[in-house]
Amino acid sequence: MRVIEVEQGSSEWLSFREGKRTGTSIGKLFAKSRATGELYDTDKPLITFYQKVAERLAEGTGDDDGLESSRERGKDLEEEAINEAEQKLGLTLIRGNVWQDSDDPNHIESPDAYTKDLKTAVEIKCLSSARHIQAICLNEPPKEYYAEYLNYFLVNDKLETLYVFLYDPRFLMEHLKWHAFKIKRADVEYDIERMRDIDAQAEQMISAMVENLIKGDI
């Protein structure tokens, strides 16, 4: 063992800890095992594991805690990420605007970017570096946004392909700064229709509750 002389809590201490397993993190790297005699299941790495991976491959990942920081980062990087998506995917994209369902004015989608023919769209995700590298390693877009992906197809019947474009310029190697997941309508058609039924039910329930509240029936 070596003793490293550094003041705990200092910027040097925080920098030195990056990418290293500590007493704070070592019990959070893997899911707890259900097998007798085993502490952890090393086949099930948790987000802390990917945070340690990211810290060795990227700079300035210390602001990744919390949803608000991710939102702010996404807002700040969106235009840069769209420009990158245009270049990497070979697309000419329209920014922003809002799509409104032709059959239901209360159903909308705010696409990050899309092509003029409305057949292709891009959803930008500027996640924490840990979640960014986790998605790349697992080779799947973040599942918690799946309903958002489906909503693109629900609102826009012309949409054939949605790219979920991950972007994090903090990674030192170019090929890790971005990753695009391609979702084709044909591959998620069943879930689109299931979501369509749920959405229709939601609209009926919301409208009924609003009407009852106006009448004073609740």
Q: Please give the helix or strand (H or E) that residue 189 lies within, else none.
A: helix 185-215
167: helix, coil or strand? strand
pLDDT value at position 214?
A: 92
Give the per-residue pLDDT at 69. Answer: 65
Q: Kindly write down the DSSP assignment for every residue of 32-79, as one continuous string.
A: EP-STT-SEEEEEE-HHHHHHHHHHHBS--TT--SHHHHHHHHHHHHH
The letter for the amino acid at 69 is S
Burial of 149 (0-12, 13-18, 19+ CB in 10 A): buried
Select from 130, 134, 126 the least CA-distant residue to 51: 130
| CA trace torsion 108, 141, 191, 46 (10° rounding) | -120
Grouped pLDDT means (10 residues each) for the chain, 218 residues: 77 73 78 83 90 91 60 84 97 94 94 97 95 96 95 97 97 96 97 95 94 86
Indicate left, alpha or beta for 162 from its phi (over 0: left) and psi (-120 to 50: alpha). beta
Asked if residue 123 lies in contact with residue 152, where contact means CB atoms within 8 angstroms, the answer is yes
Complete domains list, the chain, with CATH: 11-45 (no CATH), 67-187 (3.90.320.10)
pLDDT value at residue 133: 96
Number of neighbours of residue 73 by Cβ within 10 angstroms: 18
- pLDDT of 4: 67
Tell me the Cα Rg of the chain: 22
Distance CA 7, CA 10 (A): 6
pLDDT at 193: 96
| pTM recorded for the entire structure | 0.88
What is residue 40's predicted lDDT score, i.e. its pLDDT?
84
Query: Do residues 145 and 125 lie in contact, with contact meaning Cβ atoms separated by under 8 Å?
Result: yes
Q: Tokens at residue 162, please?
A: 């949605």
The secondary structure of 118-152 as a DSSP string is SSEEEEEE---HHHHHHHHHHTS--GGGHHHHHHH
**pLDDT score of 3:** 76
